[in-house]
Structure 1
Amino acid sequence: MLGTRVLTAAVALPLAVLAILFLPPMGLAVAVGALMLAGACEWAALAGLAMRGRAVFVVAAAVVMALALGLSEADGPVSSDGLVLGLAAVFWVGAIGLVVRFPARWHATLGRRPVALVVGLIVLAAPVVAVAYIDQADQGPLLVLLLCLMIWGADTGAYVAGRTLGRHKLVPRVSPGKTIEGAAGGLATAMILGALGALVLGLDGWRTLGVALLGAWIATISIVGDLTISMFKRSAGVKDSGRLFPGHGGVLDRLDSMLAAAPWFVIGLHLVLLAA
């Protein structure tokens, strides 16, 4: 199993980096969208839909993504992409309460199929919208890569710190393997990568600090994304959300952190880079 995981990662990570750096903005958004549609099928399965229902949900997710991208420049007080990102960001902050209290309130909130499906349409569209938005900015590919490095670094830092220092469980009712020490290691790693990324981007001292703090928040909200999918899997009684990535599980197993981090990264960029 370990060999399969390593081989999958050895193939997937370079492909991801190449796609981020060399695909045109809309091409990268389409690639992320394809992954999110595979994730939509898994989300629908975790919500308890049969095969036909899953197909309908995937089509609905594709429509939401297309509308969010196609109408992003439409006139109005709030753009469609901004609405999707804002709703997703609010949801992930609210999900902290669900994670901490699980299983209390689960069946009254995300455990209800209609709620889970509506939320899924929003949070699955958000990474597509976020990537399309970021990739069109100045140094867009590097910013998308920085987002991914923060997420990957947080995951790796949490794993190493958890394995070597982990003593205190983070949220044992949701994920018994996660520790407070591991989470701290993930935050520290993401902050360091954020600071290094800011230096590569040529930012000044205060904005470098801002990007480092953004890294800490990205690591935090990434954990929330991971734990939220874990709640779904526990409720559905499954170990993995799917089998797309050998040794790693499904799209939601691998990209759960991206679901939560992507909309907040866009918000963070506005706060850090566009602030006077």
Structure 2
Amino acid sequence: MLKQRIITALLLVPVALYGVFMLPLWGFSLFIQAVLMLGAWEWSPLMGVRRTSARIAYTLFIGAIIGVLSWLAPYEHLWRDGELSKLIYYTILAGGVWWVVALAMIVNYPSSRRMWSRTRAIVGVFGLLIFIPTWAALVTVRSIDIDESRFFGGWVVLFILLLVWAADVGAYFAGVRYGRNKMMPAVSPGKTMEGLCGGVTLAFVVMMVVAHWTKVPADQFTGYYLTGLFTVVASVFGDLNESMFKRSAGVKDSGSILPGHGGILDRIDSLTAAVPIFTLAYLEFLH
């Protein structure tokens, strides 16, 4: 399983890097839109939707909303005088609010299951609050200072990816080696407090290396590390959130498209929380 995971990851990394750095902003937006629509396709069974036509309809609905937002907030007007488009900002903020609600649901699971177990529609709304703000946040980050530097936003996106991957890798190996105390057994029995500490530690090492390499100004240290910490913690709950809904639906993996990893949603679940939270923290502390 580990070998398969590594091979799949090695194949995915060049694709991700090409999308982040080489595509123009509109191409990057379409790339992210396509990935999130695949995620929406995999989310629909967690709503209890099994019919292919209904899954297609939900997937296209997610894509259509992203398309409308792209039209209402065109890329060339995403930033005006250093200020982010209000429409895009409030879309990301809605995602931030959702993750506060999701945190409460995760902590109180399985009691919180009563909130959505009676109707599939509300789980569909949860999907909207996951996928749409993720798209808005990624396009926002990718477009930071794009007029001055074509690649700056790409480096910021890569930084987020590194934090999330470090947290995931650190948690995996620390959990396997030292894991004893279950973190949230009702949601994800395999996750441990030792794994969490390992993930946060490795992510913090990444933050220190990047801070040294990019020479983060001393007066931004607090904001920089707070932004990183919030991002890493959010990534953990993004993972737990999907685990909660999969457990509720009796599903092990969201899909099987990625050997050793499961589905697309199993790979981006952490990012769907980390990216909006990072963006809000960046705008608050570093912009």
Normalising to structure 2: TM-score of the pair? Answer: 0.89
Q: Matches of 1:194 and 1:29 in 2, distance apart?
A: 26
Q: Matches of 1:240 and 1:221 in 2, distance apart?
A: 21
Q: Is 1:124 aligned with 2:131? A: yes
Partner of 1:83: 90
**How many matched pairs?**
273
Partner of 2:148: none
Partner of 2:122: 115
- Write out per-residue CA displacement over residues 245-267 of structure 1, whole angstroms, 9 at most, x where no aligned residue: 11211111110001111111111
Q: Matches of 2:23 and 2:85 in 1, distance apart?
A: 28
Matches for 1:1-276 after TM superposition, within 5 Å: 1-49=1-49, 50-72=51-73, 73=77, 79-109=86-116, 112-138=119-145, 139-274=152-287
Verify the 8 A CA contact 2:98 2:129 in the aligned structure 1. Answer: no
Note the residue ranges of structure 2 that are not aligned, 5 or more in a row: 146-151
Residues 30 and 198 (structure 1 numbering): CA distance in 2 closer, same or farther, change over 3 Å? farther
Between 186-195 and 34-43, the greater mean CA deviation after superposition: 186-195
Verify the 8 A CA contact 2:95 2:134 in the aligned structure 1. Answer: no
Residues 63 and 92 (structure 1 numbering): CA distance in 2 closer, same or farther, change over 3 Å? same
Note the residue ranges of structure 1 that are not aligned, 5 or more in a row: none
**3-state SS of 1:241 partner:** coil
**3-state SS of 1:246 partner:** coil
Between 193-202 and 4-13, the greater mean CA deviation after superposition: 193-202
Verify the 8 A CA contact 1:190 1:212 in the aligned structure 2. Answer: no
- Write out per-residue CA displacement over residues 20-52 of structure 1, whole angstroms, 9 at most, x where no aligned residue: 122222212211111100010111111111211
- Determine what percentage of the aligned residue pairs are the same residue: 34
Q: Matches of 1:208 and 1:26 in 2, distance apart?
A: 32
**Structure 1 residue 270: deviation in Å?**
1.2
Q: What is the CA RMSD across the aligned residues, in angstroms?
A: 2.0
Normalising to structure 1: TM-score of the pair? Answer: 0.92
